[in-house]
Structure 1
Amino acid sequence: MTTINRRGLLKVGAIASVAAATPGLSLSAMAQGEKMKTAESAPSSPPEPVTRILAHYLVNARYEDLPANVRKEGTRTLLNWVGVAVGGSHHETVARALSALKPFSGPPQAGLLGRSDRLDIMNAAFLNGVASHIFDFDDTHLKTIIHPAGPVVSAILALSEYHPVSGKDFLNALVLGVETECRIGNAVYPNHYDVGWHITGTAGVFGAAAAAGKILGLSEQQMVWALGLAASQPVGLRESFGSMNKSFNPGRAASNGLFAALLASKDYTSSDGMIEAKRGWANTISTKQDYREITEGLGQRYESALNTYKPFACGIVIHPALDAAIQLRNQYALTDDQISRVDLKVHPLVIELTGKKTPKIGLEGKFSIYHSVAVALIEGAAGERQYSDRAVNDPKVIALRERVTATIDPAIKPEQVDITITLKDGRVLHKFIEHAIGSLEVPMSDQQLEAKFTDLAKGILPDAQVRRLIETCWSVENLGSAADIAKAAVV
């Protein structure tokens, strides 16, 4: 058995009790990836025992050590995730998956949010993860474009219905899971993402394993094995974007991570260096490995405090254009028949990720800058209803999107957009967005998160139940049983 060296012990032995998250980070961190595409980073030589250093931290990290701002962001992460999971619970993607899996499910151990169905915890974790991502309305760690809550909360909420855990311990596990997946994501982004991996699935499995392992009370060695078993289960390719398969990825990451932690709890072994070894996870699936992102500042800087929440139900790179379009629409009371053309100047990533010009189904619309701007100008919103099959096939939307152009401008950062709307009466309207709503610089308020939650849950849960569920999420730290969240979210 490998033992942690003195350097590793000094690095993680003491956990800071008070720490502030790094301020000022934004989607511009994504731009750094553009500079790194042509330069491959060599692995640390020799790498530290990264897997064990991380496991040591996870096993010893206490709820009491979390700074107040980290606890608050963890609670906001929970609230947002529950809202999007309930909102997506009756999408046809969930219905089809449930129909396929329910005949083979084990005992009814955990509920599906927004539904009356109960499945075994593995299938419940998967399906809640699918539901939470199907609208592309979930949270985003902007430095890596990971959607952190899907893999982590889907796993531990299902587990909490089978293995009792207090609200405080649940929140601690949530934060540690998000911390784990985002740090591991930082170590390989953007090279890993650029080659085609869906990083929410590939890094998310580590977050689910870490969080579930924390709740299960794994020893340090067992946590090493859990992380190793997670490393053996990378899931998700970017080719799946625009299909039901995309939401499969965080769902499967949740169930795979839970699977890994449960096996490790019974001493099912793995290599002790599965993250950093020569033929381990990082070296196998990425040409960049920066292990310092995983091990440095554990308990002192929190990636989990940098989480953001979407006001729009689509890829984050479209948000600046949506923000600008809706602001101009509202300011000038625009209607589609007034608009002659819409010209966008965007970062190259916008076209790469969302360049579909003629989406045919709602899921494809989420990856079309053209549809997104057109529907936002017509309907003044970009929620799940604007990414339905109805919306992408609306003749008015189709007609306007054909008048939308997007041009790459190297001077535009990923979090920016420059929009010009030319009206048929000759007027020219212009808007430049530096930071869109939902960014770290312009975050959604608690009240806006509640409004988003309420809108998503409307028609699925009674209004009074929605209000109780919101209050239950806000009070997670005071819950005697975290399973109360799941109970409050089912019909």
Structure 2
Amino acid sequence: MKKTLSQQVAEIGEKLTFEDLPDYVVENSKKFILDLLGNLLASKHIESSRIVVDVVKDLGGEPTSTVVGCNYKTSAPMAALANGTMGHAFDMDDDHREGTQHSSVVVFPAVLSLAERYKKSGKELITAFVYGSEITIRLGEAFLGQTYYQGFHPTGTCGVFGAAGGAAKILGLNAEQITNTLGLAGSQAAGLLEWKAQGTWSKRYQAGHPAMCGTLGALMAKRGYTAPTTVWDGEDGFLRAYSYKDIWDEKKVIDEFGTRWEMADTSIKVHACCRFSAPLADCALDLYGQGIDTEQVDSILAKVNKYSIKVLTVPAERKADPTTVVDAQFSLPYAIACGMVKGRESIAEYTNETIRDPKVLELASKVRWELDPEAEKVYPKYYPCTVIVTMKDGTTYTSHVDYPKGDPENPVTWEEAVEKFRFMSGYHIGEFEKDRIIELVGNLEELDCLDELIKIIS
């Protein structure tokens, strides 16, 4: 009998070793891990982070796993919940454009919580992280960029499978147990896009929730809890149930899994806004560099793909005049206006105070958009955009971006990732601690245990 998709992926996971991973996969993984740690350390003072940490503390739990930056340990699932939610607070954690989701912020909190509890090595941590990341990204790719139109957020819906797979791998489960772990994840796949309607925090929770659920599922499967082997490809499985108009390609899940690593092409973000805004932000910074006097701008036209219009311009009144940070993070007019006025798009430009800058809002009111058929043709392979500025005297300026900074074709180097980490961790830890974290992550595969790294990030 032909084995199901999850059984095939589970068998690959059982056999996978660190030595099977190409050097570039290992090096990129360390870059993603350092980047996420910077996001975690930066976010601990954010109100949404404080709330989830307070809830986790109220619930309690065996103190086996660290909540990053909070000097607190709790159970592995609760630590995964807190770290996943905090890591997504600024929306500056990495993402995968064709998988159309954030993977590391879901998978890493799950594997870290269990690696700490069970005293795993750096090699084991990286291997589990790679395996889990590959699962969630490939599931996202299988929807061909269309699951958004069904109202689902792949970071949550696909992410729980990646967290589950990574957690199962760090626990050393066999193929049958991994299959059950993935099957249990199917009962916990969740994440609606409705958070964007009112600029709420629930998107951040849609990183923490799957991290927690994947961890919990692996612990249950370890003890013999069963789940369907057909969780992905069954008649009522994930691919059919979560697809838009039955559009999916299950070959994306399994083809060359274990020899071709999609997760290594994850993009590191350099702007504190939605991934769909990244090329717009790059265009805006390019236009800023052209020396445009924004007070003399008559109109701005952005030409983008269809989904960028859907996610970044609706509801229109909240995008042109954002009232929350989430509104601004997912606003086409704000991303363009912010970059053109300030010449940067860091977390400092996405606070409750700075999103109300009158100069930015005035320019945002002049931004319009239209569908670019050429951009739509290549979605979700990549997200090109064009921004055209018309001045009051009729002069025009144009900027076009195919691959924003951070994409595999325009990558963030290790040195640039280090610079971002230093900026994100800011005043939260001292320079000695920053240097040591960078050194430890840079040599993660050489660590027999994670105790020193855990102690510093605690």
The CA RMSD over aligned residues, in Å, is 1.8
Distance in 1 (alpha carbons) for counterparts of 2:31 and 2:232: 29
Identity of aligned residues (%): 29
Q: Which moved more, 1:130-139 or 1:459-468?
A: 459-468
Aligned-residue offset at 1:221: 1.1
Aligned-residue offset at 1:488: 2.0
Distance in 1 (alpha carbons) for counterparts of 2:418 and 2:342: 21
Which residue number in structure 2 is paired with residue 305 of structure 1? 264
Aligned-residue offset at 1:307: 1.0
Q: Which moved more, 1:85-94 or 1:339-348?
A: 339-348
Aligned-residue offset at 1:53: 0.9
Give the secondary structure class of the aligned counterpart of 2:428. coil
Which residue number in structure 1 is paired with residue 17 of structure 2? 62
Give the secondary structure class of the aligned counterpart of 1:412. helix
Give the secondary structure class of the aligned counterpart of 2:390. strand
Distance in 1 (alpha carbons) for counterparts of 2:23 and 2:55: 43
Which residue number in structure 1 is paired with residue 449 of structure 2? 481
Aligned-residue offset at 1:63: 0.7
**Correspondences of 1:445-456 after superposition (within 5 Å):** 445-456=413-424
Give the secondary structure class of the aligned counterpart of 1:129. helix
Which residue number in structure 1 is paired with residue 69 of structure 2? 114
Distance in 2 (alpha carbons) for counterparts of 1:61 and 1:307: 20
Which residue number in structure 1 is paired with residue 316 of structure 2? none
Give the secondary structure class of the aligned counterpart of 2:389. strand
Structure 1 residues 331 and 445: CA distance shift in structure 2, 3 A = farther
Aligned-residue offset at 1:338: 4.2
Distance in 2 (alpha carbons) for counterparts of 1:186 and 1:429: 35
Give the secondary structure class of the aligned counterpart of 1:411. helix
Which residue number in structure 2 is paired with residue 278 of structure 1? 235
Pairing 1:403–2:366 present: yes
Distance in 2 (alpha carbons) for counterparts of 1:273 and 1:470: 41
**2:235 partner amino acid:** K
Q: Do the aligned residues in 2 keep the contact of 1:109 with 1:119 (CA within 8 Å)?
A: yes
Q: Do the aligned residues in 1 keep the contact of 2:6 with 2:179 (CA within 8 Å)?
A: yes
Distance in 1 (alpha carbons) for counterparts of 2:210 and 2:221: 16
Deviation per CA, 1:84-119: give whole Å up to 9, x if none.
121222211011122233111213222222222322
TM-score by length of 2: 0.92
Pick from 90, 97, 100 the counterpart of residue 135 of structure 1: 90
Pairing 1:206–2:161 present: yes
**Correspondences of 1:50-449 after superposition (within 5 Å):** 50-241=5-196, 242-286=199-243, 287-332=246-291, 334-355=292-313, 356-413=319-376, 415-424=383-392, 427-449=395-417
Aligned-residue offset at 1:66: 0.8
Structure 1 residues 483 and 308: CA distance shift in structure 2, 3 A = farther
Distance in 2 (alpha carbons) for counterparts of 1:440 and 1:74: 13
Give the secondary structure class of the aligned counterpart of 1:407. strand
**2:280 partner amino acid:** A
Distance in 2 (alpha carbons) for counterparts of 1:292 and 1:232: 23
Aligned-residue offset at 1:272: 2.5
Aligned-residue offset at 1:302: 0.9
**2:186 partner amino acid:** A
TM-score by length of 1: 0.86
Q: Do the aligned residues in 2 keep the contact of 1:157 with 1:483 (CA within 8 Å)?
A: no
Structure 1 residues 190 and 340: CA distance shift in structure 2, 3 A = closer
Aligned-residue offset at 1:483: 4.3
Distance in 2 (alpha carbons) for counterparts of 1:117 and 1:57: 35
Q: Do the aligned residues in 1 keep the contact of 2:300 with 2:367 (CA within 8 Å)?
A: yes
Give the secondary structure class of the aligned counterpart of 1:422. strand
Q: Do the aligned residues in 1 keep the contact of 2:337 with 2:360 (CA within 8 Å)?
A: yes
Distance in 2 (alpha carbons) for counterparts of 1:412 and 1:65: 36
**1:250 partner amino acid:** A
Aligned-residue offset at 1:368: 0.8
- Paired residues, number: 444
**1:428 partner amino acid:** T
Structure 1 residues 479 and 335: CA distance shift in structure 2, 3 A = farther
Which consecutive unaligned segments of at least 5 residues does structure 2 have? 314-318
Q: Do the aligned residues in 1 keep the contact of 2:320 with 2:361 (CA within 8 Å)?
A: no
Distance in 1 (alpha carbons) for counterparts of 2:240 and 2:302: 39
Distance in 2 (alpha carbons) for counterparts of 1:456 and 1:382: 13
Which residue number in structure 2 is paired with residue 30 of structure 1? none
Structure 1 residues 459 and 69: CA distance shift in structure 2, 3 A = same
